[in-house]
Structure 1
Amino acid sequence: MEIKRPNYSMNEWRNKIEKTLWIIVLLIFFVEIVVFFISKPFNELDGKKIINYLLEFVLVPSFLNILCLVTNKKIQKSLKHSTKTKNYSIVIAALVISFVVAFTHYVTSITLSSFVVPVFMTTLYADKRITRNISLVAIVLVLAVIIHSTRKLGWYYFFINIFAAYIFLIASCYLTNVFIDYIRVNKEYICESYAKQLELFEKTRTDSLTNLYNQQTFMQKIQSSIEDMNMNKKLLCVVILDVDNFKAVNDTYGHLSGNQVLVKLSELLLNLKGNENNDDIFLSRYGGEEFCLIIKDKTIEEVYEIIESVRIGFSNIRYSFQQNSSITFSAGITEYREGQSAEDIFNNADKALYQAKNSGKNKTLVL
């Protein structure tokens, strides 16, 4: 079972928005061409007028739109630009396209409403600062378009256009902020759910008493370790430890006392790792009083010395319930040989442990 981490990377979504903007620019170009052919008979366009019309209403706007998208593309692909810059870049590209369309086709006042698109786009980033900044830039650009259209059409439409355009912009800004709040709440919920899933998943893989990995996780790890060793040609040893006469400890002093012994041993084993990120030593409680270790990148002689130091340290521990004698463990070690299965290497370590038990206990044997 794999718990997937929530993906909040914007790369995929910026790419999708970029493709959408290219489609929008192509559609705008297509509409401008269609409008040209429709309006040609009514405006009596011919000769130089046709060239001027195409330049002013088709070619120059399309060139500016394409230049804007190409510039954004370079920013998105660049490794030196931050995520914040890339987030702004794609929204500003949409803002520029809206400005070019509204400025060019000022006769059609409805084009002013296109400025709400970049504002709504900022919802994706769930960042109210980006929404605010883009909204402020949009307000300035809308004013520039309205002043331009007023110079061409007269002041009659100035207040109507600016009132309508700003109402749309302010409404879109407030609505976007509501969406952002909604996204943030859901994002927090997803993060909390992910953390809880990880916690529950980790509990299914570990032993509750010692916090070491359990038997199932050990068997999965030994299989993956063998595959890794076959690929990288590294050393791999498996160790099985078993507390000597542990049943007598439980029967004589009770299971709580027995648990103290298991916890002490697990603490000694955890000290071998040094830190949690040390992947060269894998620790598990296989079951009952039995512990299994997977140790990478060390010779079998080095592993023997490591286990012996743990064995001696463990035998020197004294417990409140038994201060006059020591509790010991026996251990079996084996080294992975090419072609062995997980079952083979485990059985070899188990055989070494069995021999240690039958030859007097409190010792480490290698097979």
Structure 2
Amino acid sequence: MGLDHRLSAEHEELRRTVAAFARDVIAPKIGDHYERHEFPYEIVREMGRMGLFGLPFPEEYGGMGGDYLALCLALEEIARVDSSVAITLEAAVSLGAMPLYRFGTEEQKREWLPRLCTGEMLGAFGLTEPDVGSDAGGTRTTAVRDGGDWVINGTKSFITNSGTDITGVVTVTAVTGRKPDGAPLISSILVPSGTPGFTVAPGYSKVGWCASDTHELSFSDVRVPAAHLLGEEGRGYAQFLRILDEGRIAIAALATGLAQGCLDESLDYAAARTAFGRPIGANQAIQFKLADMEMRAHTARLAWRDAAARLMAGEPFKRQAAIAKLYSSESAVTNAREATQIHGGYGFMNEYPVARMWRDSKILEIGEGTSEVQRMLIARDLGLPA
């Protein structure tokens, strides 16, 4: 399949609209939220009014009737300015709403999706546990049927959008039985916020993404109706693998935005900053850094768009998603480091966006599948032994 990187008129209009919003609304405000570790509710409300949370969902569920490319374009443009806001959108859509859309019953979709699509409510995805990261098959949280309810016990960690004032539901993965060989049967269950026994711990003190919402969650004899099962019982593992495959494309777009934002800031700084009587951008050492930063951002963009195109065409995309996530995240880390170096001492000051980008970049090599996991997935798809 050949890749045409040119955007349609509709996609280009969306990209420009979100870019202007990021520049004019997010950029002037987010620094204060970031330093105070505060969730930017007013920005999120405006994003909801713009329809960003409903971009890839059908209009019948309150969405905008767009596609996955539209979501990723928005993520890239927002991440050029700030990653906390970008990850709030990415997690709300890819992890909060998408499992409901992909696997929910018609009743579940109509109950939850309209509010999730407008940003009135945020959803979260409870997968990771304190002792279970990349080995998601080792899930220890349990859900046991008791009459017409599921009774859930366990702990989830590093869960984005799980403790805001507008968080409404968390999809929790839990062991609901055992296969004949003793392997766990994992299912996904919807747990509304405020359910008795469902406790949200205080927010983490994080290196980056300081204006996003991240908590540990605990479940102590939490009861939810049996009808809150999402998809088929025992199919939760396969479900979240599909969700993570898609989500890697979105994270790749976000990482590309950060990489591009580092270049944007560095180009402006290299033109304005003088040393020894001329702009530092006239120095070949700086020019080569900037050229390499452009190369990484450009290639990362092609990688995630290729993966998105395959997803939307119904073609296999797992390998391309892993490649895009791996390359773009490592490019973001490298571009953030180089941007900080170009800015010199100012790059170490939090008043400059590149300092925030530097702090935000590292998690991209960890979240939604570490770089090591991406290499493992690529190797397996090449036919190498598991």
**What is the TM-score when the length of structure 2 is the normalising length?**
0.26
Q: Which has the higher contact order (CA 8 A, sep 6+)?
A: 2
- Structure label with greater radius of gyration: 1
**What is the TM-score when the length of structure 1 is the normalising length?**
0.27
Which structure has more strand as a fraction of its residues? 2
Which structure has more helix as a fraction of its residues? 1
